[in-house]
Structure 1
Amino acid sequence: MLVDNRVEGDSRVQKIARSAAEAGWDVTLLGRSPDDLERRWQLGDAEVRLLPMPDPLDRRRHEFRRSWLRWPLAYRPGGIAEHRAQWVRAWQADLAVRVALLEQRAGQLSPARLRRARRALRRRETAAGLLGRWVWLRTKMMHRVRSGRKFRNPWDRAYTLFWQALRGDRAWRRLEPGLWDYELAYGPEIDRLRPDLVHAHDFRMLGVGARAKIRAAAQGRRIALVWDAHEFLPGIRPWRDHARWLPAHRAHEREYAPFADAVLTVSPELADLLRREHRLPEPPAVLLNTPAAEHRPTDDAPPPDLRTECGIGADVPLLVYSGAAAPQRGLDTLVDALPRLPGVHVALVVNPALRYVEQLAARAARLGVADRLHVLPYVPHWQVVPFLAGADVGVIPIHRWPNHEIALITKFFEYSHARLPLVVSDVRTMAATVRETGQGEVFRAGDVDDFVRAVTTVLGDPARYLAAYDRPGLLPGWTWRAQAEVLDGVYRRLLPGTGQPATAFAATTDPSRGAIR
Structure 2
Amino acid sequence: MKGEAKVFRGTAKKLILQPLKAVYWFHEMDEFESATLQHILQIRPDVVHCHDLSTLPTGASVAGRIGCALIYDSHELEMHRNATYPEAVKRKRRRLEERNIVKADVVITVSESIADHLRDDYRIPRPIVVLNSPDFEHTDEGHKTLRTDLHLGEDAPLAVYVGSVTINRGIENVVRALPFMEAVHFATVGPRRKETEKLLIEIAEELGVRDRLHLVDPVPPNDVVGYIRSADVSVLPIQNVCLSYYYCMPNKLLESVFAGIPVAVANLIELRRFVEKTGCGLVMDETDPRSIAEAVASVIPRRGDFVVTGERLDQLIAEYSWAAQAERLRGVYRDLRRRTAR
**TM-score, structure 2 as length reference:** 0.88
Partner of 2:302: 461
**Residue in 2 aligned with 1:369?**
209
Pairing 1:418–2:259 present: yes
Aligned to 2:70: 225
Q: Does the CA contact (< 8 Å) of 2:160 and 2:189 recur in 1?
A: yes
SS in 2 for 1:459: helix
The structure-2 alpha-carbon separation of the partners of 1:324 and 1:303, relative to structure 1 and needing over 3 Å to count, comes to farther
Higher CA-based Rg: 1
Once the two structures are TM-superposed, the CA of residue 149 in structure 1 deviates from its matched residue by: 5.9
**Maintained 8 Å contact 2:257/2:308:** no
| 1:144 CA displacement | 7.1
- Partner of residue 38 from structure 2, selected from 188, 202, 213: 188
Cα distance per residue 1:479-499 (max 9 Å; x no partner): 11111111111112112399x
Counterpart check, 1:405 vs 2:246: yes
Judged with a 3 Å threshold, the aligned counterparts in structure 2 of structure 1 residues 303 and 407 are, in CA distance, closer, same or farther, namely farther
Deviations 1:367-414 (A, max 9, x none): 111111111111111111111111000110011131122232111110
- The answer for the alignment partner of 1:324 in structure 2 is 164
What residue number does 1:438 align with?
279
1:276 match: 120
1:473 match: secondary structure: helix
CA distance in 2, matches of 1:398, 1:287: 21
One-letter amino acid of the structure 1 residue matched with residue 222 of structure 2:
W
C-alpha separation in 2, matches of 1:363 and 1:353: 16
Check conservation: 1:151, 1:243, Cα contact below 8 A.
no
2:331 is matched with 489
- Structure 1 counterpart of 2:136, from 283, 293, 297: 293
Q: How much has 1:292 moved relative to structure 2?
A: 0.9
Structure 2 CA distance for partners of 1:145 and 1:364, relative to 1, 3 Å:
closer
Q: Is the 8 A contact 2:161 2:187 kept in 1?
A: yes
Seq. identity, %: 32
Contact 2:191–2:217 (Cα < 8 Å) also in 1: yes
Report what 1:77 is aligned to: none
CA distance in 2, matches of 1:360, 1:395: 15
In the alignment, which of 432, 438, 447 is matched to residue 288 of structure 2?
A: 447
| Cα distance between partner residues in 2 of 1:373 and 1:487 | 39
2:194 alignment counterpart: 354
> d(CA) in 1 for partners of 2:12 and 2:295?
49
My pick for the range that moved more, 476-485 or 351-360, is: 351-360
Structure with the bigger RCO (C-alpha within 8 Å, sep 6+) is 1
Bigger helix share: 2
Residue type of the partner of 1:283? R
Question: Partner amino acid for 2:265?
Answer: V
Q: Which residue of the other structure, out of 356, 381, 387, is the alignment partner of 2:221?
A: 381
- RMSD (Å), alpha carbons: 2.9
Aligned residue identity for 1:462: R
For the residues of structure 2 that align with 1:470 and 1:190, how far apart are their CA atoms? 46
Partner of residue 3, structure 2: none
Corresponding letter in the other structure for 1:429: E
Q: Deviations over 1:127-150 (max 9, x none)?
A: xxxxxxxxx9x9999757636869
8 Å CA contact 1:199–1:227 kept in 2: the answer is yes
Going from structure 1 to structure 2, the CA distance change for 1:305 and 1:361 (only over 3 Å counts) comes to same
Q: Are residues 1:211 and 2:211 paired?
A: no
Which whole-Å CA distance do the structure 1 matches of 2:106 and 2:336 have between them? 8
Q: Deviations over 1:276-321 (max 9, x none)?
A: 12211x221110111113456xxx7937311111121111100000
Map residues 298-313 of structure 1 onto 2, 5 A cutoff. Answer: 302=142, 304-313=144-153
Structure 2 residue corresponding to 1:265, chosen from 106, 109, 122: 109
What letter is aligned with 1:369?
V
Would you say the 8 A contact 1:439–1:468 is kept in 2? no
Counterpart of 1:104?
none
Tell me by how many angstroms 1:328 deviates.
0.9
Out of 463, 474, 480, the position equivalent to 2:316 is: 474
TM-score normalised according to structure 1 size: 0.60
- Opposite residue 136 of structure 2, the aligned amino acid is A
Q: Distance in 1 between matches of 2:332 and 2:48?
A: 12
Residues 415 and 467 of structure 1, relative CA distance in 2, 3 Å threshold: closer
Residue 146 in structure 1 maps to residue 13 in structure 2? no
Whether the 8 Å CA contact 1:420–1:466 is kept in 2: the answer is: yes
Q: How many residues align?
A: 332
State the match for 1:243 in structure 2.
87
Secondary structure of 2:49's aligned partner: strand
Distance (Å, rounded) in 2 between the aligned partners of 1:254 and 1:474: 35
Give runs of aligned pairs for residues 100-115 of structure 1, distance below 5 A. Answer: none
User: Which of 253, 257, 277 pairs up with 2:97?
Assistant: 253
Residue aligning to 1:428: 269
Q: What is the alpha-carbon distance in structure 2 between the residues aligned to residue 416 and residue 275 of structure 1?
A: 29
SS at match of 1:420: coil
Contact 2:147 2:230 in 1 (8 A): yes
> Aligned equivalents of 1:286 and 1:351: distance in 2?
27
In structure 2, runs of 5+ residues without a counterpart are 1-5
CA–CA distance in structure 2, aligned partners of residues 278 and 424 of structure 1 = 30
Structure 1 portions without partners, runs of 5+: 1-135, 153-172, 217-221, 499-517
> What is the Cα deviation at residue 269 of structure 1?
1.8
Letter in 1 for 2:290: D
